[in-house]
């Protein structure tokens, strides 16, 4: 035993006698993780979160979350002697007088954008492959929670510098709170400590941004990862992969090196962006005052869809009995987002109700093999995309020399028309792709090579798939529609039960597929060919 | 086609045979991979050196011109590039190491269903029943109900304690600092203005004159900001009352958008439209800021103005309605 081994053994012995960690570690260092590039998306989100904690902590050492009025005396001359809040002045100080301060601010902002983008793309991966199905519904809900909190956290974060742009965002948030019927005005006054903007909201959102929400994030992320660990990761279908196994590499050393290395790669790329790509140059906007604004006011991208919805809302307000209900704010600002996020959180249960599928699933689905879900996803994405486009309608108008009215009307009509269209088209495409799969399993792949038969006929050579390829294309289960017959308490059938009818109808839509080739059919064709 | 056998799926051929990498079979390739990993780690070390050098030796205010990116702060640029190198290449080295030299045999773990075994579930239910019975909660409804009451009420305290977060709104959203006779002063500058200071087509932002010794608060600006626009009197399409609120073609509107409170700052001279940059609500100045496009549901409130005997612009009366975004208690 070398000296080094002896020291390691002593340390390990010391820890194990006090914690019994050896047994647990022995098992878990051998844990197998399936490998696929799309499994890195969640990792990117996790690593961005760590980068946010690190860079954010650095910023707190200089940032002064106060709305006390000061005269700027720092080294950025265009704003010299301008009256501003201490929050804005200290952000200028970080940007111009702290070495590496601007770099850290830009890393923090870029990391936030990457964090949100990674969460969204990770969510899309989980959605389109059906990874949210039983037993992972809890983790899906936690994920939706993290997405929602991420949007709030990002918004509060870019509101902290108290510049003209961010103050305008806060003004809009205040108007949304104020629009809530009955209690809105009171809520707004409690949040802002009086009329907008008051002198307390920066310190208040600061503590929410740096303590409250990060704490909740840490707790939710921990549970999210523990569930992934405990339930074992899903895997893509393929030869040798079943619902009862996990195929991949062991945690130590391969995953430790890959995942640990990947953290540094993500951090490195974020630092590169922070170094070369200017983001949120608050010194150009000036300090916030409610009487001014800069043209082309834009939120960060993950808020853009919300802004786009607000922009396209029809100008409807109800005045009755001396009270006002602002539908033009409530519908796009609260009601639609509420419906979207609730439906998203409940989707696993909705799908399982529609299909009647109560089984555990560990093999992922190819999106084409579940046309209904894929179409719902495409529909939702289209809705978000149209809203996002309208959120940038002023920039689009100036860049492409269009009239803002045309874009607004285009998106107003588009938001009603395009999502259902996307649903129908996506569903058709998925079914066609299933037909193509069936075709290539039965008849092989087209090679593009022509062959002349002895009697002069030309045929295209089809190359048969390997057994592995055939398996991958046909391993999925195909479940027919439900045929529920409702019975009353005494067991008498009730053919008119609306619930049963609805569920049968829904499941028919949700399980529509092209029959996959069976072993018999493949055999028949193979024997016919040779 | 409906019997079981004809619908049987294809059979699983099992894991494909393992393919060896070059570095698994060729010692030279393995050696090369080792050197590549080392080079990547060394690049990271160089990155850290660049960070230290930039921090100490590049002045904070030195600039460098780069193609495409233009003028850049050299200090922060090289600091960032060094940091990016230092971090990225640790990662690149580790991943390259894992991909070329660490085992790439796929291994198989078994999965167990999440559901506990039946006997465990039964034992669990039994335990909970027994322990609940031990507590006697079912047999003693008085305890159960009084506890429910106490727990239900205890939540009142934190809500009550949050009451002092802010004052009650009362009528503060309905009121502004504008009163009959308040002078219109420029923002910035706080100078009184005469009608002749504004040419036809001109726009100015004004605020109510401050009482001596008083400080202007942001929350006041958020309600008081007013936009003056001068047109030719014949361009207005106003009723007699609203026309009497203008002075020699000068019309005054609240600058705070009636939609969500942004500053309505974009004025198109050609069309005489005011545009809010936040959500593109468009108001027609000639028709008392009537909404002609966008999500705003109400015109911008108009401030009645006139002049005092020296010719300075003053407010004829306070705003006749609340300015800014709508709220529940707003009566019109």
| pLDDT for res B6 | 52
CB pairs under 8 A between A and B: 336
Q: Which residues of B touch A183 (CB under 8 A)?
A: 328
> Do A508 and A415 reside in the same domain of the chain?
yes
Q: Which residues of B touch A172 (CB under 8 A)?
A: 260-262, 278
Tell me if A392 sits within 8 A of B280, measured CB to CB. Answer: no
> Do A275 and A417 reside in the same domain of the chain?
no
Q: Measured between alpha carbons, how far apart are the two ends of chain B, in Å?
A: 72
Tell me if A441 sits within 8 A of A470, measured CB to CB. Answer: yes
- At residue A183, the 3 state secondary structure works out as coil
Q: Report ipTM for this prediction.
A: 0.92
Q: Is B304 on the interface with A (CB under 8 A)?
A: no
Closest residue in A to B254 (Cα–Cα): A291
The CATH number that applies at residue A55 is 1.20.810.10
CA–CA distance, A341 with B263 (Å, rounded to integer): 31
Residue A149 token pair: 């909190």
Look at B111 and A174 and tell me if their CB atoms are within 8 Å. Answer: no
Residue A298 token pair: 């834009």
Which residues 178-217 in chain B show a CB within 8 A of chain A? 187, 205, 207
Q: Is B293 on the interface with A (CB under 8 A)?
A: yes
Q: Which residues of B touch A106 (CB under 8 A)?
A: 80
Q: Among B69, B92, B262, select the one facing A172 at the smallest CB separation.
A: B262
What ranges do the domains of chain B cover?
22-100, 184-315
CA–CA distance, A267 with B91 (Å, rounded to integer): 9
Q: Which residues of B touch A94 (CB under 8 A)?
A: none
Q: Is A310 on the interface with B (CB under 8 A)?
A: yes
> Do A103 and A218 reside in the same domain of the chain?
yes
Domain boundary among A277, A293, A309: A293
Which of A514-528, B54-68, B109-123, B174-188 shows the lowest per-residue confidence on average (mean pLDDT)?
A: A514-528
Look at A289 and B103 and tell me if their CB atoms are within 8 Å. Answer: no
* Whether residue B323 has pLDDT greater than 90: yes
Closest residue in A to B71 (Cα–Cα): A276
Q: Among A247, A264, A323, select the one facing B88 at the smallest CB separation.
A: A264
Which residues 62-81 in chain A show a CB within 8 A of chain B? 75
Name the DSSP letter for residue A35: -
Provide DSSP, A301-345.
HHHHHHHHHHHHS----EEETTEEE-HHHHIIIIIHHHHHHHHHH
In a domain, residue A67? The reply is: yes
Q: Among A107, A249, A275, select the one facing B107 at the smallest CB separation.
A: A249
> Whole domain around residue A436: which residue ranges?
366-447+463-476+484-525
Mutate which: A271, A334, A480, A526, vs B, most B CBs within 10 A = A271
Look at B166 and A193 and tell me if their CB atoms are within 8 Å. Answer: yes
In a domain, residue A314? The reply is: no
In a domain, residue A41? The reply is: yes
Instruction: Say how many domains are in chain A.
Output: 2
CA-based torsion, A498, A501, A503, A505: positive or negative: negative
Tell me the shortest Cα–Cα distance from A457 to chain B, in angstroms: 33
Q: Is A193 on the interface with B (CB under 8 A)?
A: yes
Residue A314 token pair: 């029809």
Report the CATH number of the B184-315 domain: 2.102.10.10
> Do A277 and A370 reside in the same domain of the chain?
no
> Do A278 and A381 reside in the same domain of the chain?
no
Q: Among A100, A107, A405, select the one facing B293 at the smallest CB separation.
A: A405
Which residues 464-483 in chain A show a CB within 8 A of chain B? 467-468, 470-471, 474-475
| pLDDT for res A495 | 67
Tell me if A229 sits within 8 A of A236, measured CB to CB. Answer: no
Block mean pLDDT (10 aa), chain A, length 530: 92 94 91 93 97 97 96 94 96 94 97 97 98 96 98 96 94 95 95 94 97 98 96 94 93 91 98 94 93 83 94 93 94 96 97 92 96 97 96 90 90 96 97 94 89 89 90 89 74 75 86 87 71
| pLDDT for res A483 | 80
Q: What phi, psi does B192 have (nearest 5°)? A: -65, 155
Tell me if A324 sits within 8 A of A204, measured CB to CB. Answer: no
Percentage with pLDDT > 70 across chain B: 98
Mutate which: B169, B176, B290, vs A, most A CBs within 10 A = B169
In a domain, residue A331? The reply is: no
Q: Among A262, A394, A467, select the one facing B280 at the smallest CB separation.
A: A394
Look at B260 and A265 and tell me if their CB atoms are within 8 Å. Answer: no
- At residue B228, the 3 state secondary structure works out as strand
| pLDDT for res B1 | 36
> Do A279 and A372 reside in the same domain of the chain?
no
For B159-207, how does the pLDDT look when each residue is reduced to its tens digit (9 = 90+)?
Answer: 999 999 999 999 999 999 999 999 999 988 889 999 999 999 999 999 9
Tell me the shortest Cα–Cα distance from A328 to chain B, in angstroms: 6
- At residue A516, the 3 state secondary structure works out as coil
* Whether residue B77 has pLDDT greater than 80: yes
Tell me the shortest Cα–Cα distance from A209 to chain B, in angstroms: 18
For B237-258, how does the pLDDT look when each residue is reduced to its tens digit (9 = 90+)?
Answer: 999 999 999 999 999 999 999 9
**Matching residue, tokens 């609940």:** B132
The torsion region of residue A453 among left (phi > 0), alpha (psi -120 to 50) and beta comes to: beta
Q: How confident is the model at residue B4 (pLDDT cuts 50, 70, 90)?
A: very low
Determine if the peptide bond prior to B78 is cis (ω within 30°).
Answer: no
Q: Which residues of A touch B204 (CB under 8 A)?
A: none
Closest residue in A to B174 (Cα–Cα): A195
Q: Measured between alpha carbons, how far apart are the two ends of chain A, in Å?
A: 65
Closest alpha carbon to B207 in B221, B197, B217, B196: B221
- How would you classify the pairing of strands A69-71 and B63-66? unpaired
Q: Among B81, B98, B109, select the one facing A258 at the smallest CB separation.
A: B98
Q: Which residues of A touch B162 (CB under 8 A)?
A: 190
| pLDDT for res A376 | 97
Q: How confident is the model at residue B3 (pLDDT cuts 50, 70, 90)?
A: very low
Q: Among B16, B221, B328, select the one facing A185 at the smallest CB separation.
A: B328
CA–CA distance, B54 with B45 (Å, rounded to integer): 14
Closest residue in B to A204 (Cα–Cα): B165
Tell me the shortest Cα–Cα distance from B99 to chain A, in angstroms: 8
State the maximum Cα–Cα separation within chain A, in Å, rounded to a whole number.
95
Q: Is B10 on the interface with A (CB under 8 A)?
A: yes
């Amino acid at each position: 035993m070398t000296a080094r081994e002896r020291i390691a053994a002593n340390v390990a012995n010391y820890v194990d006698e006090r914690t019994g960690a050896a047994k647990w570690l022995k098992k878990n260092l051998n844990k197998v993780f399936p490998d696929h590039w799309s499994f890195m998306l969640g990792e990117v989100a996790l690593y961005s979160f760590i980068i946010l904690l690190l860079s954010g902590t650095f910023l707190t050492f200089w940032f002064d979350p106060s709305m006390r009025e000061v005269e700027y005396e720092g080294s950025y001359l265009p704003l010299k002697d301008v009256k501003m809040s201490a929050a804005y002045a200290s952000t200028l100080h970080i940007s111009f007088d702290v070495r590496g301060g601007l770099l850290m601010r830009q890393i923090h902002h870029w990391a936030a954008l990457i964090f949100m983008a990674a969460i969204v793309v990770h969510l899309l991966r989980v959605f389109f492959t059906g990874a949210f199905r039983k037993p992972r519904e809890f983790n899906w809900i936690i994920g939706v929670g993290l997405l929602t909190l991420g949007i709030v956290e990002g918004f509060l974060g870019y509101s902290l510098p108290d510049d003209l742009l961010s103050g305008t965002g806060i003004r809009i948030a205040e108007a949304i709170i104020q629009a809530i019927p009955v209690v809105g005005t009171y809520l707004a006054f409690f949040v802002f400590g009086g009329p907008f903007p008051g002198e307390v909201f920066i310190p208040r959102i600061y503590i929410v941004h740096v303590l409250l929400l990060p704490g909740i994030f840490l707790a939710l992320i921990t549970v999210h990862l523990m569930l992934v660990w405990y339930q074992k990761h899903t895997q893509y279908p393929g030869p040798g992969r079943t619902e009862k196994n996990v195929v991949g590499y062991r945690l130590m050393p391969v995953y430790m090196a890959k995942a640990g290395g990947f953290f540094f790669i993500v951090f490195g790329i974020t630092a590169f962006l922070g170094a070369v790509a200017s983001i949120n140059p608050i010194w150009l906007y000036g300090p916030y005052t409610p009487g001014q604004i800069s043209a082309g006011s834009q939120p960060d991208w993950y808020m853009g869809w919300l802004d786009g919805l607000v922009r396209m809302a029809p100008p409807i307000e109800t005045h009755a009995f001396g009270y006002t209900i602002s539908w033009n704010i409530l519908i796009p600002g609260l009601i639609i987002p509420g419906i979207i996020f609730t439906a998203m959180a409940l989707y696993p249960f909705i799908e399982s109700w529609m299909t009647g599928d109560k089984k555990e699933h560990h093999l992922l689905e190819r999106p084409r093999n579940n046309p209904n879900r894929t179409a719902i996803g495409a529909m939702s994405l289209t809705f978000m995309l149209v809203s996002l486009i309208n959120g940038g309608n002023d920039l689009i108008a100036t860049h492409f020399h269009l009239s803002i009215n045309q874009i607004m009307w285009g998106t107003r009509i588009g938001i009603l028309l395009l999502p259902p269209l996307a649903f129908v088209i996506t569903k058709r495409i998925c079914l066609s792709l299933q037909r193509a799969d069936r075709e290539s399993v039965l008849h092989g792949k087209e090679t593009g090579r022509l062959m002349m038969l002895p009697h002069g006929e030309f045929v295209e050579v089809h190359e048969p798939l390997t057994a592995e390829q055939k398996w991958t294309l046909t391993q999925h289960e195909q479940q027919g529609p439900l045929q529920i017959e409702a019975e009353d308490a005494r067991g008498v059938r009730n053919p008119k039960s609306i619930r049963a009818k609805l569920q049968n109808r829904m499941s028919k839509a949700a399980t529509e597929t092209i029959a996959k080739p069976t072993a018999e059919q493949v055999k028949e064709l193979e024997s016919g060919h040779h | 086609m409906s019997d079981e056998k004809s619908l049987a799926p294809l059979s699983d051929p099992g894991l494909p045979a393992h393919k060896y990498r070059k570095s698994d079979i060729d010692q030279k390739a393995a050696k090369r991979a080792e050197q590549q990993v080392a080079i990547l780690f060394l690049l990271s070390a160089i990155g850290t050196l660049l960070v230290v050098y930039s921090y100490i030796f590049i002045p904070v205010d030195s600039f460098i011109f780069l193609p495409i990116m233009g003028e850049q702060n050299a200090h922060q640029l090289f600091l960032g590039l060094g940091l990016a190198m230092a971090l990225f290449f640790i990662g690149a080295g580790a991943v390259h190491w894992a991909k070329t030299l660490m085992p790439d045999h796929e291994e198989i773990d078994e999965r167990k269903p999440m559901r506990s075994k039946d006997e465990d579930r039964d034992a669990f239910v039994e335990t909970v029943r027994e322990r609940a019975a031990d507590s006697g909660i079912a047999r003693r409804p008085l305890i159960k109900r009084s506890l429910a009451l106490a727990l239900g009420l205890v939540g009142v305290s934190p809500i009550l304690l949050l009451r002092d977060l802010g004052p009650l709104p009362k009528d503060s959203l309905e009121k502004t600092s504008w009163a009959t006779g308040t002078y219109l002063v420029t923002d910035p500058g706080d100078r009184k203005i005469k009608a002749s200071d504004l040419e036809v087509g001109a726009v100015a932002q004004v605020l109510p004159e401050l009482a001596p010794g008083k400080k202007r608060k942001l929350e006041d600006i958020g309600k008081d900001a007013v936009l003056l626009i001068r047109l030719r009197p014949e361009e207005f399409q106003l009723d007699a009352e609203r026309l009497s609120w203008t002075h020699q073609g000068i019309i005054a509107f609240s600058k705070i958008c009636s939609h969500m409170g942004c500053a309505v700052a974009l004025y198109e001279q050609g069309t005489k439209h005011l545009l809010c940059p936040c959500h593109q609500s468009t108001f027609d100045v000639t028709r008392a800021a009537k909404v002609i496009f966008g999500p705003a549901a109400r015109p911008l409130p108009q401030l009645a103005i006139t002049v005092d005997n020296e010719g300075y612009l003053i407010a004829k009366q306070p705003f006749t309605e609340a300015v800014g975004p709508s709220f529940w208690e707003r009566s019109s």
